[in-house]
Amino acid sequence: MQLPALDMPVFQPGWVWLAGAGPGDPGLLTLHAVNALNQADVVIYDALVGDGILRCARANTVLEYAGKRGGKPSLKQRDISERLVELARQGKRVLRLKGGDPFVFGRGAEEALSLREAGIPFRIIPGISAGIGGLAYAGIPLTHRDTNSCVTFLTGHNASGEVPDSLDWAAMVRASPVLVIYMAMKHLDILVAKLSHAGLAGERPAALVQNATLPEMRILVSRLDRIVADAEAAQMAPPALLVVGEVVDLQAAFGRSDLQATLTMGAACQAAS
């Protein structure tokens, strides 16, 4: 893939580049990520990095999968870090490619620390996080002057797969008019219960966006007290983001014809293609 003459960095052997691939649409790769794909000897990629993106790697690049697929357990985080170190020590140019941004709920920090500990030189390449780019594709702005000047991003599960217990739900609900929740599907009912218990009104607009930015993108617009039932009826599945707040209403107000045709408050959920 040709890059404009931008004086992009050279990928040195023995280095690891820890890069974000964006939410899915290959058009959302950064030039730095494309530059990395152009030069890498090995790409270690996660489940959220699709074929469209891997096709951007140069011929002969070894593609190694490090995610969860087909019911098989994912590689342990320690195994992934060890593999990165091992390949770098073999003198490979190692591209560690993650969905979205590597430092947003992506364990990029853990890998960076392991590389540092092992004395492996590395570079961080940010990516467009799903909570930003994905919601934009769904027509949901994160901020709007009339509704909010603050957004909170949180994760629906922690390292052991449970809803994080360290969160102060009441404080979050009071302080932040818009909440964007990653990994929202596994414990959707618990998350919604926590938000209601913390004081969010049942009629608060809420949406789920599945496979954002991809041709299979699905958007479910609902409200807090109905979204669990609506999600079940529409068989919403991961990867999906939950967004709660008035900004959800702007999605319909934008009147984007491709979205508007497929959306009905509180019920419908179809592909937004």
* Residues catalogued as catalytic: 46, 68, 183
Confirm or reject binding of residue 238 to ligand SAH (CB under 6 A): yes
Nearer to ligand SAH, 120 or 220 (CB): 220
Within the chain, what is the greatest distance between any pair of CA atoms?
57
Nearer to ligand SAH, 205 or 239 (CB): 239
Does residue 121 contact residue 53 with C-beta atoms inside 8 Å? no
- Residue 182 as a binder of ligand SAH (CB under 6 A): the answer is yes
- Report the residue from 18, 95, 106, 204 that binds ligand SAH according to the rule CB under 6 A: 106
By CB under 6 A, residue 24 contacts ligand SAH: yes
Which residue from 53, 66, 84, 240 is in contact with ligand SAH, where contact means CB under 6 A?
Answer: 240
d(CA 234, CA 50): 24
Sheet containing 269-271: order of strands: 151-155, 178-182, 240-244, 205-210, 218-223, 269-271
Contact string (CB under 6 A) for ligand SAH, positions 65-104, x = contact: ---------------------------------xxxx--x
Scored b (16 or more CB within 10 A) or e, 151-178 reads bbbbebbeeeeebeeeeebeebbeebbb
Contacts of 45 (CB under 8 A, 6+ apart): 21, 54, 63, 64, 65, 66, 67, 97, 98
Give dist(CA 168, CA 261) in Å, integer: 38
Taking the complex as a whole, the smallest distance from the CB of residue 2 to ligand SAH amounts, in Å, to 26
**3-state class (DSSP) for residue 221:** strand
Residue 258: CB atoms within 10 Å = 9
When asked if residue 26 is in the footprint of ligand SAH (CB under 6 A), the reply is no
Residue 139: Cβ within 10 Å count:
23
Looking at residue 116, its amino acid is R
Q: Among all chains, which residue has been given the structure tokens 């599907």?
A: 185
Q: How far is the CB of 14 from ligand SAH (least distance, A)?
A: 26
Nearer CB in complex with ligand SAH: 85/183: 183
Find the binder of ligand SAH among 15, 17, 21, 23 (CB under 6 A). Answer: 23
Q: Which of residues 193-222 bind ligand SAH (CB under 6 A)?
A: 209-214
Nearer to ligand SAH (CB atom), residue 240 or residue 263: 240
> Looking at beta carbons, which residue is closest to ligand SAH?
100
Q: Smaller CB distance to ligand SAH: residue 134 or 177?
A: 134
Q: Rounded to the nearest whole angstrom, what is the least distance from the CB of residue 102 to ligand SAH in the complex?
A: 6
Binding site for ligand SAH (CB under 6 A): 23-24, 48, 98-101, 104-106, 129-130, 134, 182-184, 209-214, 238-241
